[in-house]
């Protein structure tokens, strides 16, 4: 199980572990090993996470930043996995007959036809107002037969219980949300993390797998 926890930092984690605030992380440390993870530059997330998935640097794997050329318009578009020119861990596993579950890796849209299941990094984005139909973009989920059930596990920001938000914002009731949009941004981040976690847990419980790769970007935001 490979969990990509974007922007997690031991400078923040260690004090929380010592205060007893992160017992699960503490248990992992005590049963295993820990260490700092060096980075490569420039620190562009799509490039870095593709390097983690492929074991190669950008000049070999082809993902250099947040955008890529758009062959349809001649302009640029948000990065997709179509720029990746080398095999990722899950492609190698497929060649070896091993099933993988890949959830939200950046970038992973469109979802690849691997042996196993893949949910792309477009899965958790709420693109409509609350209560409106919320279809997933084509190629968000592989195999497509899982799409209907997985779509139900997404959480819209406006579905969150206000009590959950008060864990992050104890003075939530005092904030003028017409002037301060950060509450909306926080709700979006929590909803997206919850959607990805729901999907990852569902795949790990109901779909056979040897390797699972899950990417969560909430801390970074």
> What are the strands, taking DSSP E only, across 2-160?
2-5, 67-69, 76-78, 100-103, 116-119, 141-142
* pLDDT per residue as tens digits for the range 38-81: 899 999 999 999 999 999 999 999 999 999 999 999 999 999 99
Provide the whole-model pTM.
Answer: 0.91
pLDDT tens digits in sequence order for the chain, 221 residues long: 999 999 999 999 999 999 999 999 999 999 999 988 889 999 999 999 999 999 999 999 999 999 999 999 999 999 999 999 999 999 999 999 999 999 999 999 999 999 999 999 999 988 888 889 999 999 999 999 999 999 999 999 999 988 889 999 999 999 998 898 899 999 999 999 999 999 999 999 999 999 999 999 999 98
SS3 103: strand
Task: Give dist(CA 198, CA 189) in Å, integer.
Answer: 14
Task: Give dist(CA 137, CA 123) in Å, integer.
Answer: 8
């Amino acid at each position: 199980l490979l969990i990509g926890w974007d922007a997690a930092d031991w400078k923040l984690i260690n004090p929380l572990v010592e205060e007893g605030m992160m017992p699960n992380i503490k248990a992992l440390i005590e049963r295993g090993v820990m260490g700092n993870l060096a980075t490569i530059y420039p620190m562009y997330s799509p490039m870095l996470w593709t390097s983690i998935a492929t074991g190669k640097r950008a000049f070999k794997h082809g993902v250099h930043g947040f955008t890529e050329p758009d062959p349809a318009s001649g302009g640029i578009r948000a990065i997709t996995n179509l720029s990746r020119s080398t095999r990722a861990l899950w492609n190698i596993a497929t060649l070896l007959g091993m099933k993988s579950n890949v959830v939200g890796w950046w970038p992973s849209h469109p979802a690849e036809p691997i042996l196993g299941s893949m949910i792309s990094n477009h899965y958790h984005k709420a693109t409509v107002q609350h209560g409106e139909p919320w279809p997933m973009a084509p190629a968000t989920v592989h195999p497509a037969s899982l799409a209907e059930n997985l779509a139900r596990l997404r959480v819209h920001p406006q579905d969150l219980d206000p009590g959950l938000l008060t864990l992050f914002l104890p003075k939530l009731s005092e904030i003028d949300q017409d002037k301060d949009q950060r509450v909306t941004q926080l709700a979006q981040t929590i909803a997206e993390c919850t959607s990805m976690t729901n999907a990852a847990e569902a795949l790990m419980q109901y779909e056979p797998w040897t390797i699972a790769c899950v990417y969560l970007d909430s801390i970074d935001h």
